[in-house]
């Protein structure tokens, strides 16, 4: 998948904004890359490498943590077959977007399992997109529609 990538930290600007990186705050350090992240043909995913890297979503509309306000919880697990979490091979981060706008970045070490959750505000609708980064196999994309 083609995209704008921060030369300093590797963040992918899905919204095309190249003024400032929201992760490392570098200014005007973006470059266009043909292979910004892998976007597999999801209807034809059969390989183990793909199944271990594609972000896998579970949406929960009844939040068990933030009561009274309301949430749309987007759980992300990497991947359908759980990715290894070893010092030499692990997921380093998961970046969340809603309708191409950056909303959150979660960093990982090999001390945690490759899964996280974001508590979007109640009533959030649109396309939630995730790009995860594996220290060996690079960046992988997936998306889910919140209705």
Backbone angles phi, psi at 70, to 5 degrees: 95, 135
Which one of 26, 137, 138, 146 is in contact with Fe ion (CB under 5 A)? Answer: 137
Specify which residues 59 forms β-bridges with: 74
Which one of 5, 37, 134, 139 is in contact with Fe ion (CB under 5 A)? Answer: 134
User: CB of residue 81 vs Fe ion: minimum separation in angstroms?
Assistant: 11
Handedness of CA 45, 50, 51, 57 (dihedral sign): negative
CB 89 within 8 A of CB 79: no
Helix (H) or strand (E) run with residue 75 in it: strand 71-78
Residue number with the smallest Cβ distance to Fe ion: 134
Query: CB atoms < 10 A from the CB of 102, how many?
Result: 19
Nearer to Fe ion, 88 or 145 (CB): 88
Nearer to Fe ion, 70 or 84 (CB): 84
Contact between 51 and Fe ion per CB under 5 A: no
Number of amino acids touching Fe ion (CB under 5 A):
3
CB 10 within 8 A of CB 133: yes
User: CB of residue 90 vs Fe ion: minimum separation in angstroms?
Assistant: 8
CA distance 73 to 70: 9
Kindly indicate which of the ranges 7-15, 23-31, 34-42, 137-145 contains the residues binding Fe ion, using the contact rule CB under 5 A. Answer: 137-145
Contact positions toward Fe ion, by CB under 5 A?
A: 134, 136-137
């Amino acid at each position: 998948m083609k995209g704008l990538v921060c030369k300093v930290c590797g963040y992918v600007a899905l919204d095309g904004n190249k003024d400032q990186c929201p992760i490392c705050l570098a200014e005007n350090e973006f470059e266009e890359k043909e292979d910004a992240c892998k976007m597999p043909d999801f209807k034809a995913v059969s390989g183990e490498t793909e199944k271990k890297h594609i972000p896998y979503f579970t949406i929960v509309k009844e939040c068990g943590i933030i009561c009274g306000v309301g949430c749309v919880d987007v759980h992300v697990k990497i991947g359908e077959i759980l990715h290894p979490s070893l010092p030499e091979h692990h997921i380093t981060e998961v970046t969340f977007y809603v309708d191409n706008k950056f909303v959150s970045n979660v960093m990982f070490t090999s001390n945690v399992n490759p899964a996280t959750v974001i508590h979007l505000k109640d009533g959030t609708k649109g396309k939630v997109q995730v790009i995860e980064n594996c220290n060996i196999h690079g960046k992988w994309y997936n998306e889910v529609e919140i209705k």
